[in-house]
Amino acid sequence: MAGITDPRPPLPEWILKCYDLLCSHTSQPDRGKDAVQVIEYDDATDTLLSDSELALEQRDVEYALTRLLERGYFYEVEDELRVTSPEEQC
């Protein structure tokens, strides 16, 4: 996530839309105090590919997920994408 001290430019709007869409499809398998929002990587890919408003191709989806992982919006555990700070981001 690009902050004030982050020299990188902000993520493009279409990638942020991907993030918002994925957040709306996450689940919290453990509803405890430290519950983490999760989406399977394959489900994330399918969700982004099937959204007619975004109209993304496979390469676009892979690029968006890579950028979101690199910027810390998600972290990956096995085949799951987990939201880094759900209270601040989703």
Provide the mean pLDDT of the chain.
85
The answer to whether residue 4 is domain-embedded is no
- Which CATH number does the domain housing residue 61 bear? 1.10.10.10
Q: Cβ distance 37 to 27 under 8 Å? A: yes
Which tokens go with 28? 């919290």
Q: How many independent structural domains does the chain possess?
A: 1
Can you tell me which residue has the tokens 């993520």? 11
pLDDT at 3: 53
Q: Which domain holds residue 61?
A: 13-23+36-83
pTM value is 0.81
pLDDT band with cut points at 50, 70 and 90 for residue 36 = confident
Give residue 30's pLDDT.
Answer: 65
pLDDT tens by residue, 72-83? 999 999 999 999
| Residue-wise pLDDT tens digits, 45-57 | 999 999 999 999 9
Query: How many helices (H) and strands (E) would you count in the chain?
Result: 4, 3
